[in-house]
Amino acid sequence: MLMASSASPNWSNPLIHSPLSKSGKLRLMTSHPLLLDHHPRRFINIEGTINLRDFGGYTTQDGKVVKEGLLFRCGSMSEIPERAFDEFTELDLGVICDLRSLEEAEKDPTPDADPFSCRIHIPIWPGSSTQFQESIQKKNRPPSKEDFIEFMTNVTREIARDHVEAYKQLMRELVATENGFLLHCTAGKDRTGFGAALVLTLLGVDHATVMHDYLVSNEAPELFHNQRARMEAAMREQGRNLNIDENIVRVFSGVRAEYLLAAFDEIDNHYGGMRGYLEEIGITAGEENICCSDCSTNHCPAPLHRCLSVTVFSAYQRI
């Protein structure tokens, strides 16, 4: 259970104020964001998983450490065979937040077994795909790599702007669980990537590291192979020549820094900055401090990652 203190809100706390400016808006990076070599990649090799990794272990801006073995992210789990269920059970999950659309979840259902019984479906399906098709038809030419990059940028903008209720529920599930927390979508990179970035930002991880975690999806080789296979299958079904542009496959199977930056820009434009967005998803200035004095990856009596680094959202006054 939560060990909440009665401390008054501290707006200089990294949870509320960093990586924000005094206006509450994100300080976007001025240099080109890159993967950070000094951070280990915490991919977890369980048969049938896609882009499964632990997104804990990062140092916060006040020098504490997000616990490992409690925060997980991945893609679809429909291909996990029964022989791997025991290994998956070792993650000790309290909740699985499935962000796939209803259609995606019906087409590729999560296994119906004990390790997955804690699944909560929070469907997100951005509408940019229809708009993209309409825009391409107007251009009267085959779509280019740049068109697809623009499409994915707009998708990520929509994820941040139009799905506040979904991420409100995601945060509610994060706070409620006493065990591990996993969020996933189909590839574990776009809807999941924004959700993980939001969680890490709330926990006081600096923006460069948040961006690093987002970009690590580009190191999951199965994403490229899976995307190519899906495109080939679709082209066969349509009776088209299997002449696939590798660059377009890479656009759809990966992420780019500008996608996440566009999402944060959308938060600034529509919610007045991260502070306003936090209020929209139910996190207010009345959050309670549940951080113990020895909060590290190895020594902390408080439950889960909610005692992590700084003030963590225990009071959902607006939900």
Residues forming beta bridges with residue 180, ordered by sequence position: 93
b/e for 44-69, b at 16 or more Cβ within 10 A? bebebbbbbbbbbbbebbeebbbbbb
**Residue 230: what pLDDT?**
79
Residue 62: inside a domain: yes
Residue 221 included in any domain: yes
Q: Report yes or no on 17 lying in a domain.
A: no
SS3 205: coil
* CA gap 256, 93 in Å, rounded: 29
d(CA 100, CA 186): 6
The pTM of the whole model exceeds 0.85: no
Containing structural domain, residue 236: 41-284
- Domain with 206 in it: what CATH number? 3.90.190.10
**How far apart, in whole angstroms, are the C-alpha atoms of residue 87 and residue 77?**
13
Largest separation between any pair of C-alpha atoms in the chain: 65
Q: If DSSP codes are grouped into helix, strand and coil, which group holds residue 70? A: coil
Inside any domain, residue 277: yes
Sheet strands side by side (includes 119-121): 53-54, 71-74, 180-184, 93-98, 119-121
CA distance 267 to 225: 33
Q: Report the first-to-last Cα separation within the chain, whole angstroms.
A: 19
Q: Is residue 36 part of a domain?
A: no
Task: Determine, yes or no, domain membership for 48.
Answer: yes
Domain tally for the chain? 1
Q: Does any domain span residue 309?
A: no
Q: Tens digit of pLDDT per residue, the chain (319 long)?
A: 222 222 222 323 333 233 344 444 443 333 345 666 667 778 999 999 999 999 999 999 988 899 999 999 999 999 999 999 999 999 999 999 999 999 999 999 999 999 999 999 999 987 665 666 666 666 666 778 888 898 899 999 999 999 999 999 999 999 899 899 999 999 999 999 999 999 999 888 999 999 999 999 999 988 888 888 877 777 777 777 667 778 888 888 899 999 999 999 999 999 998 888 988 887 765 443 333 333 444 444 444 334 433 333 332 222 2
Q: Which residues touch 193 (CB under 8 Å, ≥6 apart)?
A: 73, 214, 217, 255, 259, 260
On whether the CB atoms of residues 214 and 106 are closer than 8 A, the answer is no
What's the pLDDT score for residue 212? 94
Closest CA to 173 of 26, 9, 316: 316
Residue 33 located in a structural domain: no
